[in-house]
Structure 1
């Protein structure tokens, strides 16, 4: 393709092929090449059509490489389709009309229409299908939903501002996948969608907002535009929009359409979140610099800006929660839900009009089964927690709720490592109590406190040994005697 590139440049310079002149610049755009894909751009004239045919024929004679005209199309902008059909003859290509797709990007399409986003919606739906949801745990579904959100649509979202109805449809697919529901089957959504999307810093699950991802990806083009003004594409943008004669925070003329105007309008999305462009960029002595908060090793960080947008758009705060990496995701997700009172206890199911055989605790059979009762107040829970604290050489405590026991572990002692380890042990304890409750109800298996304690010791020892970055726990005998001394 390099040989064809040289031929097209020479033809453009000598007037054999007239490219499109970019206003306010000396650029004449005649072609765009990427790998083996070629896009020829020029004035609509018979001279260009016939000379392009001759150039391609000469290229074939010289190199032996022939353009596949069966896969090629001719487009005429602002001309009748009959004329396009007539002029496509000399090139041997089929005539066509806008819109079309080039390198996976729609060209000439109205991106405000729902049909323009159908490829992304279809891919979302195929990746987050219901049969996959049935084979994954909640934490697995959340991980997959977050991965699909972060990777699949970025090509589109980095160029176009997605309409609100498209954002809502994509997030609805995510929501149904996470809770294993569909349009025909109602399911319980145990946690509000806004809490799932909210950042972990404000008490959410950190799934992230698709709209904020869109804004952050578009904002990165501002950084590229201001830091690479001599690049070919930036010079073309300058020619059309002439930002030199405009305020520093204006990147496009509002009376022009196209992709760049769409990128410029991302500022409106920031302003709706009460974020000024000046929070992203600084002006010093008439110059422009980017705030270090959003630049890592000289490269603009989409993740950091997205996190800032997520924190601005989600003001939910249920208190700080410790997302420990040394604890399996299914366990830490369960503890996060329990902290908010969002686990399927008999009491919670009854409140949602779901029929259960009995709302009494399946273990003690004396009190209605609430979340706090299962995990802290039941006789089994009290005995297990007392044994766990004794094992850790911590004075026994009486807890009346999940939040109380979590706060105790988080604020205990002064050593950060011991505090983290005790929190990990409490997470494992609450998870083991929930598992024992399920075994009692669904398998009719009863567990003794000593057996549950042995399970807790083994499980957390395994977590710390294979999941902890420090790998500090190696001696089983020391672990069984005094776990907090193993840090």
Structure 2
């Protein structure tokens, strides 16, 4: 009755906890997995509108970065997600990345730890949702330390005190010693701490917190994410420098090829997938393995000789996929031509693989001359559109004049 009288006095209705305010669930125990169903459902509803098998892997990576990783930002900026919730959301992202779904299972060719490494360290530059959650919550710690006189900080201190509860346990932290030093190492650390304090010179200026990872000394969630990604070391894949004038799908294909993470017949057999005959589809002379497909196959050797003639270099003899990526390093050329040769090598491998897939799935065989012509055409179109600082026409491209 008293609550009803108060509500009538303020001209509002009596509500119940939990309730939704500005799209966020308030008053619920966010440690429970079922309270995150709203976020999970948003993921699923967005994915049902996208057809993963109609989008290249480069397009899927772009959608994940620009859309999926941003969907839980509102919740992540206020609540700490449990491990189960993170795994459920990341599972949806993994399935979409590799072209699968709830009813379609696909092979995940690269581990999640590898995928979430930076491009400089052999990954795709995706962000773990756990990192996004931590980076967003760390902003509260930064604001708590800097906005000393703000009303929200005084409210937190009044409700939770210096000890804090829940997420505020890590924000409203205080220097409360739980025990005295009990080992030689702890004593040494205490002495070092006291020595550093004694060296500190005090003045009349008020203390403040300084963000040292950025140029403007202001906290940035993006910088925290970048720092967390760069801390991850990927030792599984050889260093690969992305070609700036090629689409993402070509760079990602080359990244996977260097790690032997493309579905050749021998790779599928290693994963206990029955592929029947292991003979190479293009030449029919040997088993379809990674290095033989792109360098030892008679079909691919013919393509490489055509590319060498176009680029004006001696006939090349390659012994593996890594030799093809580093082909541009073995010739003394101008910087621009070396960048072009790097992209042409990646594009050639990608086009050979596409010709293989056209033969397997569509029974459509292309001869060597057609493949070389396609490489020239795609190279011309992509270089001209993505490197607009250099003017080039088709005649210059045919003569490999990219200066």
TM-score, scaled to structure 1: 0.70
Structure-to-structure mapping, 1:68-467, within 5 angstroms: 83-85=2-4, 87-91=6-10, 93-129=12-48, 132-237=51-156, 253-254=162-163, 256-257=164-165, 260-261=168-169, 263=171, 287-293=207-213, 295-297=214-216, 299-409=218-328, 413=332, 415-467=334-386
Give the Cα separation in 2 of the matches to 1:459 and 1:426. Answer: 13
Q: SS state of the match for residue 353, structure 2?
A: helix
The structure with more strand, counted as a fraction of residues: 1
The answer to whether the 8 A contact 1:159-1:263 is kept is: no
Give the Cα separation in 2 of the matches to 1:183 and 1:169. Answer: 12
Query: Which structure has the greater CA radius of gyration?
Result: 1
Structure 2 vs 1, CA of residues 413 and 226 (structure 1 numbering), >3 Å: closer, same or farther? farther
Q: SS state of the match for residue 326, structure 2?
A: helix
Determine which structure has greater relative contact order: mean sequence separation of CA pairs < 8 Å that are 6+ residues apart, divided by chain length: 2
Structure 1 position 379, deviation (Å): 0.9
Q: SS state of the match for residue 290, structure 1?
A: coil
Give the Cα separation in 2 of the matches to 1:150 and 1:263. Answer: 25
Give the Cα separation in 2 of the matches to 1:106 and 1:261. Answer: 21
Structure 2 vs 1, CA of residues 411 and 211 (structure 1 numbering), >3 Å: closer, same or farther? farther
Question: In the alignment, which residue of structure 2 is the partner of 1:65?
Answer: none
The answer to whether the 8 A contact 1:127-1:148 is kept is: no
Q: SS state of the match for residue 207, structure 1?
A: coil
Structure 1 position 452, deviation (Å): 1.6
Give the Cα separation in 2 of the matches to 1:450 and 1:229. Answer: 71
Q: SS state of the match for residue 28, structure 2?
A: coil
Structure 1 position 386, deviation (Å): 2.2
Structure 1 position 232, deviation (Å): 3.8
The answer to whether the 8 A contact 1:99-1:108 is kept is: yes
Structure 1 position 152, deviation (Å): 0.9
Point out where structure 2 has 5 or more consecutive residues left out of the alignment: 174-196
Question: In the alignment, which residue of structure 2 is the partner of 1:471?
Answer: 389
Structure 2 vs 1, CA of residues 181 and 432 (structure 1 numbering), >3 Å: closer, same or farther? closer
Give the Cα separation in 2 of the matches to 1:86 and 1:230. Answer: 35
Point out where structure 1 has 5 or more consecutive residues left out of the alignment: 1-81, 243-252, 266-282
Q: SS state of the match for residue 390, structure 1?
A: helix
Paired residues in the alignment total 374
Q: SS state of the match for residue 326, structure 1?
A: coil
- Deviations along 1:126-169, whole A, 9 cap, x unmatched? 11237532332222222212223331111111122111111111
Structure 1 position 405, deviation (Å): 1.4
Structure 1 position 262, deviation (Å): 5.7
Give the Cα separation in 1 of the matches to 2:170 and 2:75. Answer: 12
Give the Cα separation in 2 of the matches to 1:192 and 1:141. Answer: 16
The answer to whether the 8 A contact 1:128-1:145 is kept is: no
Give the Cα separation in 2 of the matches to 1:195 and 1:464. Answer: 29
TM-score, scaled to structure 2: 0.83
Structure 1 position 233, deviation (Å): 3.0
Structure 2 vs 1, CA of residues 101 and 129 (structure 1 numbering), >3 Å: closer, same or farther? same
